[in-house]
Amino acid sequence: MITGQSRVNWGYLATVPVLLSIRIYLSAFFLFKESCSSSMLAAQENRVIALEEWEEKWQQDKIGFHHPHVHKMLEANIDKVVAGRTGIKFFFPLCGKAVDMKWTAELGHTVVGVELTEKAIRQFFEESEMSYTEENVPTIPGAKVFRNSEKTVSLYQCDIYKFSSSLEGQFGAIWDRGALVAINPKDREKYAALMVSLMAPDCRYLLDTLLYNPELHKALHRSSIFCTG
């Protein structure tokens, strides 16, 4: 088990039991990283979206990333993620109000999400027709946790980097959609270290990401994989 950041690196993440039956494996990130030109890396490295900008998107309902239906990739791969287990604790980083969380809870798993924006969390519970409670998180100033009455869905309202395994332990599965691709490039290693620290030994990690050249596709500048072959 990884216990400290000094032992965590991108290369390690490619070796943990991660399920990536998607457009590209995360491990390809490392392979492509080696073959990308430094100018292509530089095209992404300094791009930053502030937390306030995410808040604004939600306040202005500019949430084109939200899908009203369960994500096809999750549906197609759920059996591989579950791998015969029951009652898995699923983690949804940067969860927004993804309907995937309700669907996963209805399969009998428990769901923990982290989302910056309170509006997104409230909308999730309201649109899912789940009654919920909210309370402060004593160890994170300003953070709240919202839970449905069955306590099968717990959504933390805070910056992802303030979340840790001390709050909910480690997870048996992680569904990373719109999360790795949304974080600022400069934070990728910190994000990877956090994800590794949240993974139980039998954790399966399903990741939705994409591969492109940011010099050719500026509009996708915030996505995480950055080099075409």
Q: Which stretch binds ligand SAH (CB under 6 A): 5-13, 93-101, 125-133, 197-205?
A: 93-101
Shortest approach of ligand SAH to residue 197 CB, angstroms? 16
Contact call for residue 205 and ligand SAH (CB under 6 A)? no
Nearer to ligand SAH among residue 54 and residue 125 (C-beta): 54
Q: Which of 44, 77, 104, 117 binds ligand SAH (CB under 6 A)?
A: 117
CB of 51 to ligand SAH, least distance (A): 6
Of residues 118, 120, 167, the one with CA closest to residue 144: 118
Backbone angle region of 120, left / alpha / beta, with phi > 0 → left and psi within -120 to 50 → alpha: alpha
- Which residue, 52, 19, 33, is CA-closest to 208? 19
In 3-state terms, what secondary structure has residue 135?
strand
Cα–Cα–Cα angle for 57, 134, 122, rounded to 5 degrees = 30
x/- contact string, 13-42, with ligand SAH (CB under 6 A)?
------------------------------
Told to check if 103 binds ligand SAH by CB under 6 A, we report no
Among 26, 101, 114, 206, the residue binding ligand SAH under the rule CB under 6 A is 114
**How is residue 140 written in tokens?**
């994170």
The DSSP bridge partners found for residue 114 are 156
CB of 3 to ligand SAH, least distance (A): 24
Any contact of residue 204 with ligand SAH (CB under 6 A)? no
Nearer to ligand SAH, 36 or 110 (CB): 110
Question: Interface with ligand SAH includes 194 (CB under 6 A)?
Answer: no
217 backbone dihedrals φ, ψ, rounded to 5°: -130, 80
Relative to beta strand 153-157, strand 144-148 is antiparallel
User: Is the CB of residue 138 less than 8 Å from the CB of residue 145?
Assistant: no
Task: Give yes or no for residue 96 binding ligand SAH (CB under 6 A).
Answer: yes
Query: Is 95 one of the binding residues for ligand SAH (CB under 6 A)?
Result: yes
Q: At 229, which amino acid appears?
A: G
Q: What is the DSSP letter of 27?
A: H
Contacts to ligand SAH by CB under 6 A: 51, 54, 65-66, 94-96, 98, 114-117, 120, 159-160, 177-179, 182
